[in-house]
Amino acid sequence: MNNTKYVFVTGGVTSSLGKGIIAASLAKLLQERGYSVTIQKLDPYINIDPGTLNPYEHGECYVTDDGAETDLDLGHYERFLNIPTSQANNVTTGRIYQSVINKERKGEFLGKTVQVIPHITDEIKRRIKLLGNTGKYDIVITEIGGTVGDIESLPYIESVRQLQWELGEDNAIVIHLTLVPYLAAAGELKTKPTQHSVKMLMQSGVGPNILVCRSEHEISDDIKRKLALFCNVKKEDVIQSLDAETIYDVPNLMFDEGLDSVVLKKLELSSEKQPALKEWNCFVQKYKNPKQTIEVGLIGKYVELHDSYKSITEAFIHAGSTHETKVNVRWIHSEELESGNIEKQLKGLDGVLVAPGFGERGIEGKIDAVKYARENNIPFLGICLGMQMAVIEYARNVLGLKEANSTEMNENTTHPVINLMEEQKEITNMGGTMRLGAWDCTLETESKTYEAYQNTNISERHRHRYEFNSDYKSQIEEAGMKATGINPKTGLVEVVEIPTHPWFVGVQYHPEYKSTVLNPHPLFLSFIEAAIAYSKN
Ligand code: GLN
């Protein structure tokens, strides 16, 4: 008999309250107390996964080892918990309906009318319990995307109601995250929006067990009492969540407010062991007290929305903290570089990172940025499209193949140094068909990458359709750019470097997805180290 406990996190009043961070922080505290915990995100949109979404919609698409294209919150879960997530940790309405419809087509409903209740809710419950049923977790935290009251989240709330009824309130609890706004004109914190959102939740038959209230100001005992009375919870179940200086403070803040102990009490689990957060606090301490500052340029075409590069900026924080260095990011729009103002925009940078991306927009700017970093000996890290741009730049400006390009940008280029992978040629569906997830790579020992990883065999996550064209490999290598990392099975070039440059690395994979607080990514550590050295020149 499996006795996994379930915690649901719903959101009220407004979006962007940070449900993902609250869920991750609670999970961190429970993990530190010795429980095995995982977090799942249910997204109410109809897309099967966020893989086909433009980053402007919901930010970065995060990729797991098993090749799931997921919501960026899964990145927070991994960074906080230091354990990998999988396909089962992110489920969308699209996926739920797809499973139910597939079953219907197979005749598995035996002539019944297929309905939201019970068929869609059954499938939602099955997906929630899937993680619990692995027997690996004491506690599964399920974050329900969106805001209570949205039409599209109704089936999820109904599933939570049913699960709580089936499992009992000592096995399944609901944390409702809400906003307690401060009205400057009245000089007061207002509880009404929270009352309304709890009422909305109750109309669906779900009463929150715990309220976590985001607020810019201290929530007094009086207000807590008022919230408790009107929202049908105990006063000690009203937890304030004040704006934090950094997301990495939130586990400590939630511990101080007693969120984890209230949760354990409700789930009838022991709270004897205290969370130590020793390594975590060491990281936070270093992060907050840097000894020096560097500036790294992040060149991408989605820079207006910083969330589009969430894992990259978090990886900078992890690596920066290890080196006791504040890494300032200069956001540089690749399209704006195209007008030839490279020098002005990149001057003074200690490192240049050319970001992943798709399509033609802004790529000439990226290529110019690579050239600038290469010629000026500025540490350079190219990720995925960034690596491809580094290869194109080298082919054009060092080999003199002026027409060199990726067939993604110009199908008829005379020098397709980057081209569509063979297995991609027959693919017509766009969703979930890239080369995704973890693949092995073998590193040359004489390389910056090997120096960083201290290992010849690595495994990293991927998300791409195009690759380094091996027909050009010997030409490019002779000209000085080396392929230092190769997929041992397919021969695909995963890493390129310029050995004569102080630190110039392009990787076809995404190292940023695997950087966590307790395991800063070796390549980011090495890149930041090179940038620090450069800053001292
Ligand atoms: N658009 C490129 C490809 O599909 C790079 C993808 C990426 O940067 N994730 O290969």
| Spacing, Cα 401 to ligand 1 middle (Å) | 22
pLDDT at 339: 74
CB atoms within 10 A of CB 102: 10
Q: Tokens at residue 150, please? A: 């949205």
Q: Can you tell me the distance from the alpha carbon of 355 to that of 312, in angstroms, rounded to the nearest whole number?
A: 9
Alpha-carbon dihedral 452, 458, 461, 462, rounded to 10 degrees: 90
pLDDT at 319: 98
| Spacing, Cα 498 to ligand 1 middle (Å) | 21
Ligand 1 neighbourhood includes 141 CB (under 6 angstroms): no
Closest residue by Cα to atom 5, ligand 1, is 385
Ligand 1 neighbourhood includes 69 CB (under 6 angstroms): no
Is 231 labeled as catalytic in the residue annotation?
A: no
Is 78 labeled as catalytic in the residue annotation?
A: no
Ranges of the chain whose pLDDT falls below 50: 1
Give the relative orientation of helices 250-257 and 259-266 as an angle to the nearest 10 degrees.
60
Ligand 1 neighbourhood includes 385 CB (under 6 angstroms): yes
Q: Where are the alpha helices (DSSP H) in 338-417?
A: 342-346, 363-375, 385-397
CB atoms within 10 A of CB 18: 21
Q: Is 189:170 a contact under the CB 8 Å cutoff?
A: no
pTM of the model: 0.95
Is 512 labeled as catalytic in the residue annotation?
A: yes
pLDDT at 415: 97
pLDDT at 537: 84
| Spacing, Cα 89 to ligand 1 middle (Å) | 24
Q: Where are the alpha helices (DSSP H) in 383-495?
A: 385-397, 448-453, 473-478
Of residues 384, 441, 462, 521, which has the active-site annotation? 384
